[in-house]
Amino acid sequence: MKILLMGPPGAGKGSQSEKLVKDYELTNISTGEMFREAYRNNSPLGIEAMRYINKGELVSDEITNEIVRKRLLRSDAERCFLLDGYPRTVAQAEALDKMLEKMQSKLNAVINIVVDKQAILERMVGRRVCKSCGSTYHLSFKPPRVDGVCDSCGGELYQREDDQLDSVKNRLEIYETKTKPIIDYYSKRGILRNVDGMQSFDAVYKDIKQALGEVI
Ligand code: AP5
Ligand code: MG
């Protein structure tokens, strides 16, 4: 099963993928997470990428395609994976098609989480992420049991630099101009399903599972 989870920043892609990868035994491939991990490891790629990420800009297609290409070649991505946050431009979608073609493979389903702008702002401003395991929380909608501490691993929670209002606004604008055209790209293939993201975590998850059942 090869799935792409898309939607605007803050739509809930990361939150839903945490459950999906466990239930369907998928390899999670999140470009945002890969860049943040590279930064934590002090790699030149991570440091270069973070210059764009903190401002809410996209990392170049060249760099992004290359890290995904390498990631897809690893054995755990051979059969089942979930892509979160990639592709984000039409050029990336075309590059992904070429990579998958080479692997004699293709995407089975594209799930697009639809959320309105006001909710996105609220979700991003209140988001907290675990420094160690990357689990996602929200101060109001999904608070950790102990303030500032991850329920899963006890790690410290922090606020992402790109969740500051200026970056958020930039990310939303870029989503509209660069990422939204991909919806059309995949809907023409009949594998895209829209899911209402303006519901509880569990209700969104239930709808995603139902949508996957329709296309796979
Ligand atoms: P990335 O990490 O992918 O960020 P994003 O797409 O902006 O998405 P987010 O992670 O902000 O949101 P999400 O949809 O995962 O929502 P979440 O589940 O956390 O990318 C970061 C940056 O890296 C990009 O801006 C770019 O610079 C770079 N990058 C990455 N990929 C790239 C690419 N392909 N090309 C170029 N550059 C790239 O939820 C958000 C909050 O809402 C949480 O607090 C959560 O608890 C809460 N929440 C979620 N669902 C619900 C719900 N149903 N009800 C109430 N609260 C909810
Ligand atoms: Mg995310």
- Choice among 88, 123, 128, 193 that is catalytic: 88
From the list 36, 127, 128, 193, the catalytic residue is 127
What are the start-end ranges of the H helices in 54-132? 61-72, 90-102, 117-125
Q: pLDDT band for 214, please (50, 70, 90 cuts).
A: confident
Q: What CATH number labels 2-116+170-215?
A: 3.40.50.300
Q: Which of 13, 36, 71, 193 is catalytic?
A: 13
Active site residue 13: yes
Q: Which ligand is nearest to the CA of 140?
A: 1
5 pocket-lining for ligand 1 (C-beta < 6 Å): no
State percent of the chain over pLDDT 70: 100
Q: Please give the single-letter amino acid code of residue 20.
A: L
Query: In the chain, where are the structural domains located?
Result: 2-116+170-215
Tokens at residue 64, please? 């992004």
- pTM of the complete model: 0.95
Cα 15 to Cα 117, 187, 216: the distances in Å are 18, 24, 22
Please, which pLDDT band fits residue 35 given cuts at 50, 70 and 90?
Answer: very high
Closest atom of ligand 1 relative to the 137 alpha carbon: 46
What is the 129 CA–ligand 2 centroid distance (Å)?
A: 10
Greatest distance between any 2 Cα atoms in the chain? 47
Angle at 20 between CA 14 and CA 25, to 5 degrees: 125
Backbone angles phi, psi at 158, to 5 degrees: -140, 165
What is the tens place of the pLDDT at every residue in 136-193? 999 999 999 999 999 999 999 999 999 998 899 999 999 999 999 999 999 999 999 9
